[in-house]
Amino acid sequence: MGHGTTGRFALLFAALILFAGGQSHGQLTNSRDDGTAKRGYGDPLPAGQNGAPQGGGMTILEAAASGGVAEARGAFLVGESVNSRNRRGKPAILIAAQSGNIAVVRFLLENKANPDLFDKSTGKTALITAAEQGDSNMLHMLLDHKADPDHPDRQGETALIKAARIGDQDSVTLLLGSALNVNATDYAGHTALWHAQDTRHDRIAKLIQTAGGA
C-alpha cells in the first residue's frame, strides 16, 4: 500500500473519531438538566454555566416588566438575584406586580424573593401595589407568601387603606382576613374606615367596621 493510500486512510479514521465524539457530546448536552427538573427552579448555577435555557437574554428586571417565567428562570439560572433592584431602587417583585405579571411574581416568591421589598422612593411594596390596582389574585398570592399587610408607603398608607379608597371588596375582604392592624392610620391620621367613608364606599365601610375598624 502506497504512502498516499495510507495517508487517506489515516485522515478518514481521524474524521470518523471526530464525528463520533461530536455525536457523544451532543447527546450529553441534550440530556443535561436545564435547571428546573431536579432543582425545582432553585439552586442557581454560577454565571457562565449552562447559560439561559429558555430565557432569550432578558434580565430578571426585564422579565418582571414584560417577560414570562421562562425569561425569569433563565436569568435566575445564570446567577441573577430574585431580589434585584433597578437603579432607582425598585425591586423586581414590585415591577412585576405593577405590570400585573402574576406568573413572574409567583416565580420570584417560590424562589425566596422577599415579598416586603419596597420602592426606595415611594415606599410601596408589591402588596400595596396589588391593593391600589384592585388585583385581588395578586394580593391573595402575596399574603399566602407572608407579605406584611401593615407595611406603609411614604404617605403612611397601608394596603387596606389603598383597597378601601378604591372600594375593592375582594381585596378588602382578603386583607381583613389577615393579621393586620385594621385601625392603622396614614400620616394625616386617617384610617381605612375614614377613607372608605370619604369615598362613599358604604359596603366597604361596613366590612371594616365589622372587623373592628373605627
Structure confidence by residue, pLDDT tens digits, 109-130? 999 999 999 999 999 999 999 9
- Among 11-15, 25-29, 173-177, 196-200, the minimum mean pLDDT is found in 25-29
Q: Which pLDDT band, with edges at 50, 70 and 90, does 198 fall under?
A: very high
Check: CB of residue 126 under 8 Å from CB of residue 144: no
Backbone φ, ψ for residue 85 (5° rounding):
-125, 155
Q: Quick one: pLDDT at residue 8?
A: 52
Check: CB of residue 67 under 8 Å from CB of residue 35: no
3-class DSSP assignment, residue 91: strand
CA 138/CA 129 separation, integer angstroms: 9
Q: What average pLDDT score do residues 86-108 get? A: 95
Neighbouring CB atoms inside 10 A of 189's CB total 8
Q: Is-above-0.75 flag for pTM?
A: no
Q: Which three cell numbers stand for residue 65?
A: 416588566
| Virtual torsion, Cα 90, 91, 97, 98, nearest 10 deg | 10
CA 13/CA 16 separation, integer angstroms: 5
**What's the Rg (C-alpha) of the chain?**
26
Q: Quick one: pLDDT at residue 14?
A: 45
* Nearest CA-CA partner of 41 in 141, 108, 103: 108
